[in-house]
Amino acid sequence: MDEEILQDFLVEASDLVDQLNEQLVELENSPTDSDLLNAVFRGFHTIKGGAGFLAITPLIEVCHRAENVFDKIRNGDVEYDAAAADVILRAFDVISDSMAQLNDGARELPENDPQLLVDLDALTGSKAVVEEPAVEVSDSTEPVLQLADGVDPDGDISDDEFEALLNQRDNSSSSSQSSEVSAVLTLPEGVDPDGDMSDDEFEALLNQRDSAPSPVTNTQTSPSLALPEGVDPDGDMSDEEFEALLSQRDSIDSSTKAATNTAPKPAAPVIETKPEATPKPKVEPASSSKSTAKPAAKSAPESTVRVDTKRLDEIMNLVGELVLVRNRLLTLKGKGSSVEDLSNAVANLDHVTTDLQASVLKTRMQPVKKVFGRFPRVVRDLARKLGKDINLELKGEETDLDKNLVEALADPLVHLVRNSVDHGVEMPDVRANAGKPKTGTVVLAAQQEGDHILLSITDDGKGMDPDVLRTKAVEKGMMDEMAASQLDDKSAFELILSAGFSTADQISDISGRGVGMDVVKTMITKLNGSIDIHSVLGEGTQINIKVPLTLAILPTLMVGFDEDSYAIPLTSVQEIFDFNAENTNKIDGQVMVRLREESIPLYFLNEWLASDKPKDDYAGDKVVIVSIGNQRAGLVVNQVNGQEEVVIKPLGVMLKHAAGYAGATITGNGSIALILDLPGVIERFQ
């Protein structure tokens, strides 16, 4: 398999799979939308085409059938009802799974579940029968086609011989456990078995042939005949091509007779090139590599991003500007330049660099649609499973996000949406009794707010009762009654983000274990984001997530100890004030500072960061109050140097996991500032 072609195929097919995901769910709401049906048909057809080119047999089998189903549907022969949807979605899952495996490095896919193929065929109305050893013979005859004696399967088939094939169909022979691999074919309805056979009918025969698995062993693949490249299954078929198909079939037979457990792909190379007159099928030589279904060693996942050429053009322009400024500075360096000239040039440089930075960052942006794409399906499946009626609305899909963010947010969002469906929206009858519409609504929205992106999940379900939450907190031993009663509603709602907190009395496999929400909180915090929750009992709940647009840039508070600078993430900083020894006292060996009737632990950072210069007198130092999770702490620093947006650079070898540091950055004057990781800092002092 050509790796390059495979990679191209995977990129294209992944996009198609994402689209199909959405389209299939939409289709259930509008099953007769012809544009949608055509799009879905084309989707399966294109994937099939690519898979055929790469000879990925199991994929071809499923796509081929799915395509057929949709062909029937768009012609009005078959209806896309709930049952059909279930089968198609199963097929889609198989395709999606295959893509994932190929992306992970597998170069061979396991054989398809024969039942799926049967179900798919059943949708198109073709009566393929699964041959089982003890199956009852149904009324319709199950003819077995064998090439007549004397017919050379490798030679051209004459009309007579073909006629003979058709005639065989008429002879009713009971399905028996012939040791020979035989195909059971039923001519499509309405076809005169003695008349000429059109290509459509032949195609139908092929379809049947594909779907009938061999009765000998269950592990045999249903040999699928890959139509030669370039052949339009609905158009004319030349003798050579037909005969190539026959040879595929035969070669498959011989290889299965040899009782190897390999997936038959011998005819594929033959078909790829040119159907030769005497195709001695080249059984794929590396049978040893096929004897196990172990996927190839996981190739390094190729991470690519699709970039709009318009963005690239912008960058080219800006680079051009940068070159001009550089040239200007070079000229200025030479002759004796005035301060004014220099500062103009520098201002220009500043401007161009800022623009260039923004442009380059934009190339890593992807529309949030990529994440949202999977939700219709998630909600649909979950709602069906729970017996609820839910409508999912997506808003702001075009909002752009850094690629890393997109991937990092996927899981938390899924969890929150599932929560809304599971715990938020009520059962239809409960809703009706409450005077609400039976269909619940969940809105997933994305919006850009300056340098942040705001994601929200809103449902019109039963909302949360802050009192219940307070009680639960006391029950779980998280706090005493006094503390619980002092929590305002907002803080009460935030309780659900704590580990082990769940008000669900029954744990389902979906949610209720109380481990999901705190993981969500952790992941969001890791992204330097924040969550807040609003809820009105009986009306619904809204969860808002705010995440900075790019991961790499962090607004910080720069603090210092003599010449050494450190950066504290600004989102954690609450307030700053002068250190005053009189406001401090020692409780249990820990120095605390009194702040508006609260006692907050103090940590003297220079004990750690400037341990070679110990001091007793901290007058003149500053206290920075930070929030770490649910707690607050005060960090005593020498100087506070103001806010700065910094680019996070990872620390390298031997320092990556050094406690207390989240990375480093290069400041305006070229020196290095270390970025503090607050939880790690506290750990150092414990």
Partner 1 sequence: MNLENEVPSTASNLSADDMSGDSAYLGPSARCVLFALDNEVYGIQVKKIREVLRVGTIRKVAGAAYGVLGVINVRGVIVTVVDSRTLYSMPTREIDDLSRIIIIELDEERTVGILVDFVIEVKDIPESKIESLSASKENASRHIQGIAHFQDNVIILIDVDNMFLGAE
Using CB under 8 A, list all residues that contact partner 1: 564, 608-611, 649-661, 663-664, 666, 670-672, 674, 684
| Minimum CB–partner distance for residue 658 and partner 1 (Å) | 6
Of 10 and 610, nearer to partner 1 (C-beta) is: 610
H or E element at residue 607: helix 606-609
Q: Which is nearer to partner 1, 396 or 663 (CB)?
A: 663
- Of 439 and 667, the one with the shorter C-beta distance to partner 1 is 667
Q: Kindly state the smallest distance separating residue 564's Cβ from partner 1, in Å.
A: 8
Kindly give the interhelix angle for 516-526 and 403-419, rounded to the nearest 10 degrees: 160
Residue with tokens 């009706």: 432
Cα separation, 380 vs 648, in Å, equals 40
Kindly give the residue spans of alpha helices, DSSP state H, lying in 291-365.
309-334, 339-363
Query: Which of 137/659 has CB closer to partner 1?
Result: 659
Shortest distance, position 678 Cβ to partner 1, whole Å: 15
Closer to partner 1 by Cβ: residue 471 or 641: 641
Can you read off the two tokens belonging to residue 523?
């992941």
Nearest distance from residue 653's CB to partner 1, in Å? 4
Gap between the Cα atoms of 128 and 121, Å rounded: 7
Chain mean position to CA 239: 45
Query: At its nearest, how many Å lie between partner 1 and the CB of residue 646?
Result: 12
Cα gap 156→134, rounded to integer Å: 37
Smallest separation (angstroms) from partner 1 to the CB of 562: 12
Nearest CA to 18 out of 46, 43, 37 is that of 43
- Beta carbon of residue 621, minimum distance to partner 1 (angstroms, whole number): 17
CB-based contact 472:566 (threshold 8 Å): no
What is the SS3 string spanning 184-203? ECCCCCCCCCCCCCCHHHHH
Nearer to partner 1, 537 or 655 (CB): 655
- Nearer to partner 1 among residue 308 and residue 562 (C-beta): 562
CB of 592 to partner 1, least distance (A): 24
Q: Is the dihedral of CA 504, 507, 513, 516 positive or negative?
A: negative
What is the secondary structure of 499-556 as a DSSP string?
Answer: TT----SS--SSS-SS-HHHHHHHHHHHTT-EEEEEEETTTEEEEEEEEES-SSEEEE
**Residues 496 and 519 sit within 8 Å (Cβ to Cβ):** no
d(CA 680, CA 686): 10
Residues 303 and 579: their CA atoms lie apart, in Å, by 49
Q: CB 315 → partner 1: shortest distance, Å?
A: 18
Torsion over CA of 654, 657, 660 and 665, rounded to 10 degrees? 70
Measured in whole angstroms, the distance separating CA 491 from the mean position of its chain's CA atoms is 33
User: Judged by CB, which is closer to partner 1: 463, or 663?
Assistant: 663
In whole angstroms, what is the distance from residue 686 CA to residue 684 CA? 6
How far is it, in rounded angstroms, from Cα 114 to Cα 130?
A: 9
Nearer to partner 1, 438 or 613 (CB): 613
Minimum distance between the CB of residue 389 and partner 1, rounded to whole angstroms? 50
Q: Using the structure block, give the residue that is written with the tokens 């005035």.
A: 338
CB of 625 to partner 1, least distance (A): 22
Please say which residue, 205 or 636, places its beta carbon nearer to partner 1. Answer: 636
Nearer to partner 1, 562 or 578 (CB): 562
Residue 43: other Cβ atoms inside 10 A = 25
CB of 350 to partner 1, least distance (A): 18
Is 424 or 660 the residue whose CB approaches partner 1 more closely?
Answer: 660
User: Which of 490, 613 has the CB closer to partner 1?
Assistant: 613
Residue number, 300 or 482, with CB nearest to partner 1: 300
If one counts every other C-beta atom within 10 angstroms of the C-beta of residue 505, the result is: 6
- Residue closer to partner 1 by CB (options 483, 658) is 658
Among 610, 617, 624, 620, which Cα is nearest to 563's?
610
Contacts of 663 (CB under 8 A, 6+ apart): 648, 649, 650, 651, 674, 675
Question: How far apart are CB 300 and partner 1 at their closest, in Å?
Answer: 11
Task: Provide the 8-state DSSP code for 464.
Answer: -
Q: Are strands 452-459 and 540-548 parallel, antiparallel or unpaired?
A: antiparallel
Computed from CA positions of residues 375, 376, 377, 380, in that sequence, does the dihedral angle turn out positive or negative? positive
Q: Find all residues with CB under 8 Å of 134, minimum gap 6, and list them.
A: none
Beta bridge partners of 455: 446, 545
Nearest-approach distance from CB 558 to partner 1, in angstroms:
15
